[in-house]
Structure 1
Amino acid sequence: MSSIRNIYCVGRNYVLHAKELNNEVPTSPFLFSKPTHALVEADGSHIELPADRGSVHFETELVIRIGRPYEKGITVDELVDGLAIGIDFTLRDVQNEMKKKSYPWLLAKGFPNSALVSKFIAFPGFEACKAKDFALVKNGVEAQLGNIKQMLFDLQTIVDFCALHFGLGEGDIIYTGTPEGVGPVNDGDHMSLHWDGQIVGECTVQLT
């Protein structure tokens, strides 16, 4: 995890998720970032999340890792070397207040341990990814199920947009958006992250 540099996140990249939160569906990629202090590995241990700032929501996402410097015209298959499943933990009450005031989301998105990520596996290629689902199972019950075929903006569009507006290089990771089904976590919740039916990461939430 120490080799990870920038953490980019794509918001509202699944239509049904945008609608479930009563958000407008974007017409171009909508991105924000998290500090590296937010990053934590889903290695089976407890992770601490704040208990005193309102509701904490899970947002399960496919995460890609950039393996080389971006060059104009490069394809996703040439650029990406790893894939993981992650959770963009969000302070939902805080975010709603930020949105009302037209403030940035950093307070709601950038707190420690808010960027949970499984182990990375070799990127199988863009087309192969579309044949596999990712999921979150919470306390033994499937809470979210997604497939990148449902994305508004595909992986190529996302990496090109990131590179143009922010820069993109080796060690950067991108949370590519969450499908519908987001919801609150409670103290003691067990979360397991699945890729193609296999568990690739898990943790237990500890609200403190």
Structure 2
Amino acid sequence: MWGVCVTSLKDIKNIYCVGRNYELHAKELNNKVPTKPMIFSKPTHSTVEANGQEILFPGDKGSIHYEVELVIHIGQDYIDGITVDEIVDKMAIGIDFTLRDVQSALKEKGHPWLLAKGFPNSALLSPFIDFSGAEDCKRTSFALLKNGEQVQIGNISDMIFNLQIIIDYIAKNFGLGKGDIIFTGTPEGVGEVADNDEMQLKWGENILGGCRIILAK
């Protein structure tokens, strides 16, 4: 059994995200499947906990897409050779919200994605639960419900780059320490949110968190 862990969003240090880490998701957006991890980041101001509340998003920046992901929490500073099960202490289900029209314009210009990925409330997180180990996590799938209908489901066994590869790559290129979190990538099925959509985050058969989307007029 897992238990809910008390983790303040204020204690999160860095937010790393892995892009295109599921082959079918890369293909659904007509992107090339990467040969090495694609890493981007979000500011800590983008975090918000999914505790059933209304969450405000911009209504004047075009389409906003949901991308459900397994999120891992780093429990100690990285040292060379450390394993996933040693360094990860908690996990959550999250949504990497994306301003898709903004991202498409940035990609055309070859610019970074920050404006499309780092806006307030764009890193939605369920409450953290105990991390049971990389192999054990493969026995359970995570999913997103929108208005009661399942729109995405994923399992980390389908990732292009597994948790160990992601952790080692981020640590060696950017640094990785206690309090950092990693959005590990989204499976296929991403789509647009609309005003008043109800979102629920699932781990197996358990709802870990949810929210209602409000688009600013």
TM-score band (shorter)? over 0.9
Q: Deviations over 1:42-82 (max 9, x none)?
A: 01100111110000000000000000000000000000000
Q: 2 CA distance for matches of 1:43 and 1:70? A: 30
1:196 Cα shift? 1.1
Describe how 1:69-88 pairs up with structure 2 within 5 A: 69-88=77-96
Whichever residue aligns with residue 74 of structure 1, its letter is I
1:146-165 alignment runs, 5 A limit: 146-165=154-173
**How far 1:166 moved relative to its partner?**
0.5
Aligned residue for 1:141? 149
* Residue 125 of structure 2 corresponds to residue 114 of structure 1: no
- Once the two structures are TM-superposed, the CA of residue 197 in structure 1 deviates from its matched residue by 1.3
Identity %: 63
> Matched residues in 2 for 1:121 and 1:88: separation?
19
Mapped to 1, the partners of 2:193 and 2:167 lie a distance apart of: 30
Q: Normalised by the size of structure 1, how large is the TM-score? A: 1.00
C-alpha distance in 2, partners of 1:38/1:144?
22
What does 1:8-87 align with in structure 2 at a 5 Å threshold? Answer: 8-87=16-95
Extract unaligned runs of 5+ from structure 2: 1-8
Q: Which residue of 2 aligns with 1:204?
A: 212
Partner AA of 1:196 in structure 2:
G
Count of paired positions: 208
| RMSD between aligned residues | 0.4
User: C-alpha offsets along residues 120-149 of structure 1, whole Å, 9 cap, x if unaligned?
Assistant: 001000010000000000001000000000
For the residue of structure 2 that corresponds to 1:2, the secondary structure is helix
Distance, in Å, in 2 between the alignment partners of 1:94 and 1:130 is: 34
Unaligned 5+ residue runs, structure 1? none
In the TM superposition, what whole-angstrom CA distance separates every residue of 1:161-188 from its partner, at most 9, and x where no partner exists? 0100000000000000000000000000
Query: Of 116, 131, 150, which residue of structure 2 is paired with 1:123?
Result: 131
1:183 aligns with 2:191: yes
TM-score calculated relative to the size of structure 2: 0.95
Question: Secondary structure of 2:120's match?
Answer: coil
Q: Partners of 2:124 and 2:57 in 1: how far apart? A: 11
1: CA distance, partners of 2:116 / 2:43: 12
Letter in structure 2 aligned against 1:72: D
Code of the residue aligned with 2:114 in structure 1: it is L
Q: Distance in 2 between matches of 1:159 and 1:50?
A: 32
For the residues of structure 1 that align with 2:153 and 2:15, how far apart are their CA atoms?
Answer: 23
